[in-house]
Amino acid sequence: MAQTSHLYLIGDKFLIFGLLNFNQITIDRFLAGYSLVALVAISACLQKFEFLNPITISFQLVAYVYWTYLISSLHAKLHRKDTNYPFGPKESMLGALIPFAYIFWNWCWIQKMSNWSGLSFKRSLLFGAIIAVASLFGYPDNLHKFPGYANLIALIVLFVSANYLNKRIALHQSITEATTNSHDVIIRDKTYYKYEAKIWLALALWGCVFGLIAPGFDQWYLAWFGMAPLLIFVGLSKNPPQAFYRGVFFGYAYNLVWSLFILSFSSAVWPENLRPFTALANAVVWLLYSLQQAALCGTFCFLVNWLPLRSGKWRLFAFLIVPLLWVLVFNKLGNALTSVAMPWTLIEYSQYKQNELMQCASLFGGIGISFLIVMSNVVVASLIASIIKRFELKSLAPGRKSLIVSSSITVFLIFGCLLYGNAHLESSTTCSEHKNKEVFSILQGNILFGLNEINPNKHWNCYLSLANSSAPGVCVWPEWSVPISISQNLPIFKRMDELAKKNNQDWIVGAVDSDNTGNEYNAACLLGKSGKTHLETYRKQYLVPFGEHSPSWLLNSPMGALCGTLTPRRKGYSAGREAAVFTSGENKVVPLICCELIAPELACSGVRKGGELLVDCSNTMWFQTKLLGDQSLAVCAMRAAENHRYFVFGTSSGPSAFIDWHGRILQKSALNQCCTLKNEVYYDSKLTPFSRWFR
């Protein structure tokens, strides 16, 4: 066989590999991939099939990254054969490594690659789906979520499929024009990047404006039309990667504005050696968090562009499909509690002061309000595309009949929700007379402390004094108000139980807990007048990523030395496994801890177990800013309205608050004050439709 010189595109540069046989090099590369899979299996066998050990994790990481490199090489090969091929090696390496987004990137470009190599559209779509599922099991962040052998099988599938594609591409020497979509053609030169840079800048500036919908800025009305420019530019994108980057710039700016409170982290949150660099550490967290959420926005835009929403019969249903994609990416999949994401910047929280609309949360939750907001933006984008007579917008403009139908349905749904909310508020004005009620007191101690500076005696003296001065009823002590293990200090908690009974009070106390295997938990317990023979304890289920918990695979990997948590223990806390319901007299209380308020599934789970009221114990001394306080109250209001339950939000340094079952804030405390907040709350045992169906 003749030997020729070949060029391999890596990034933006060409590397010359001399007079070598291309196919032989490719075979050697795939043999190297199979060897890495074999090393994963051998190292796990040597550790008695324990896959989460440093050596096996290292090989797994290298194997997955190496697979992305092989896919990058195949993209380069197709680029040399056809310059119209839409994916570049740079894009493939990036997309395969972005958390959550990698599933859709892999699906999209494997489908495109196999289709261009001669496989039929349906078969290439199925093939892409198989690779997407395999990458889900093989992705590093999921190593601790599935059995080790699942990751091993996934790596085998990935390398075999890459080898199969390589052979198909080698056999399919000429790519026909029939498989090429004209809208996918992009010539990436200086003119292209200059044009894109202007669009990125415009979207970033508008993303900053759109970020003002956040609670604390309270420009809630922007949510209903402010996403339309993004949707227009996504629709005009010539292929999914271009749409992805446009979405990232918009989402990055939006999240930077919403999460500005991160810059105000107290120095006490950081270990002592980082405290001189608090401003820098805060900025890094701010940028990285916003980037992660921006990747989800990019993924959403990627999917919108990938689906055939600009053609024929699909165009009519875009106003339903696009909102559905949004809630799937942001509310369910991309921000799942098992991921390292934190769904704090969801657009539905911007509406927390719109009382009529909030009542519909009891039907379809915040996720339904988010759906309505995106639906409104799709209709606005369609109207703009129809009104502006530009050739580029013709593909986005639906027909007159489709526009009338989608606009009418959207307006009908929004006004229907407002009418329902108004009627619900009026019919519930006298309901409180028929409900059980009780006096709750929130103890806000305003004690600041660092990771290794916890003084249990100081906490105890402060909160006992506040409890003794409170009225009979239920006292809510914030997270970590008694920072000792419940199970290891039972005599102390029994003594606290007696003191609570003496005051004719129940105490919901934030503490920590541990089990016989050495796992530690962020926890809360119920003490006092209810007369239980044993302590009712709740262990926090959702832990703050890299704050309270880091994935075990990451801690055990070579990068583990750089990772840890913001708890006294490097590996952080373990997660509780089930919801709990505390019994206060004849009433049931659902305990939540700190950021669990952002998880509607946890609140619903507790309510389905019989909970009649929601209580969150939170430590807010690290975030001394009004912006975070307003955003926390917005989230609490949404949980209250979704479940039609009073919400008691007890914090260490404010703002603490009482929120009624309509999501209205009844009373809140000031920031950074030691005080007691008292109010009457009402219990309700009926399940809302949202509480019943949401998981």
Bridge-based pairing state of the strands 614-618 and 587-593: parallel
SS3 for 184?
helix
Please identify which residue in the block is written with the tokens 């805060």: 282
Residue 218 has pLDDT above 90, yes or no: yes
**Sheet (strand 536-539) strand order:** 536-539, 520-528, 505-514, 473-476, 437-444, 675-682
Q: How many CB atoms within 10 Å of residue 325?
A: 20
The structure tokens listed for 578 are 């089930």
Residue 245 has pLDDT above 60, yes or no: yes
The structure tokens listed for 94 are 């990036």
Structure confidence at residue 23 as a pLDDT band (50, 70, 90): very low
Average pLDDT over every residue of 176-201: 66
Q: Does domain 431-446+455-541+576-693 have CATH number 3.60.110.10?
A: yes
Return the H-helix or E-strand segment holding 346: none
Q: Which of 403, 405, 402 is nearest to 413 (CA)?
A: 405
Higher pLDDT, 532 or 501: 501
CA-to-CA distance for 675 and 589, rounded, in angstroms? 23
Residue 54 has pLDDT above 90, yes or no: no
pLDDT digits (tens, 9 = 90+) for 577-597: 899 999 998 899 999 999 999
Return the H-helix or E-strand segment holding 121: helix 121-138
CA angle at residue 209 from 207 to 212, to 5 degrees? 110
CA-to-CA distance for 581 and 367, rounded, in angstroms? 25
Q: Is 591 left (phi over 0), alpha (psi -120 to 50) or beta?
A: beta
SS3 for 568?
coil
pLDDT averaged over every residue in the chain: 83
Q: What are the residue boundaries of the structural domains of the chain, listed by start?
A: 4-183, 186-427, 431-446+455-541+576-693
Higher pLDDT, 199 or 342: 199
Q: 665 - beta bridge partners?
A: 659
Buried b (16+ CB within 10 A) or exposed e, 242-255: bbbbbbbbbbbbbb
Residue 14 has pLDDT above 60, yes or no: no
CA-to-CA distance for 370 and 521, rounded, in angstroms? 33
CA-to-CA distance for 671 and 657, rounded, in angstroms? 11
CA-to-CA distance for 535 and 415, rounded, in angstroms? 48
Q: 668 - beta bridge partners?
A: 657
How many CA atoms within 13 Å lie on the side-chain side of 211? Answer: 24
Backbone angles phi, psi at 675, to 5 degrees: -160, 175
- HEC readout, 494-560: HHHHHHHHHCCEEEEEEEEEECCCCCEEEEEEEEECCCCCCCEEEECCCCCECCCECCHHHHCCHHH
Give me the percent of the chain exceeding a pLDDT of 70.
Answer: 83
The structure tokens listed for 225 are 């039309």
Cα 236 off chain centre by: 27
Cα 258 off chain centre by: 14
Average pLDDT over every residue of 195-212: 94
Average pLDDT over every residue of 51-58: 78
Q: What is the DSSP string of 661-674?
A: TTS-EEEEPPTT--
SS3 for 590?
strand
CA-to-CA distance for 333 and 642, rounded, in angstroms? 20
Q: 19 - beta bridge partners?
A: 5
Q: Is-above-0.75 flag for pTM?
A: yes
pLDDT digits (tens, 9 = 90+) for 536-578: 999 999 988 877 777 766 666 666 555 655 555 556 788 888 9
Give Rg (Cα) of the chain. 28
Cα 402 off chain centre by: 33
CA-to-CA distance for 30 and 8, rounded, in angstroms? 16
Query: How far apart, in Å, are the Cα atoms of 180 and each of 112, 176, 205?
Result: 10, 7, 34
Most confident of 515-524, 526-535, 540-549, 594-603: 594-603
Average pLDDT over every residue of 248-274: 88
**CA-based end-to-end distance of the chain:** 60
For the chain, what is the largest distance between any 2 Cα atoms, rounded to a whole number of angstroms? 94
SS3 for 423?
helix
Average pLDDT over every residue of 420-425: 91
Most confident of 33-47, 273-287, 358-372: 358-372
Q: Are residues 535 and 493 in contact, defined by beta-carbon separation less than 8 angstroms? A: yes
Q: What is the DSSP string of 41-92?
A: HHHHHHTTT---SHHHHHHHHHHHHHHHHHHHHHHHHHHHH-TT-S--HHHH
What pLDDT is stored for residue 96 in this prediction?
64
DSSP percent split of the chain into helix, strand, coil, nearest 5: 55, 15, 30
Write the DSSP symbol of residue 440: E
What pLDDT is stored for residue 34 in this prediction?
84
SS3 for 7?
strand
Average pLDDT over every residue of 272-287: 86
Cis check for the bond before 655: say yes or no (omega within 30 of 0): yes
Q: Are residues 177 and 84 in contact, defined by beta-carbon separation less than 8 angstroms? A: no
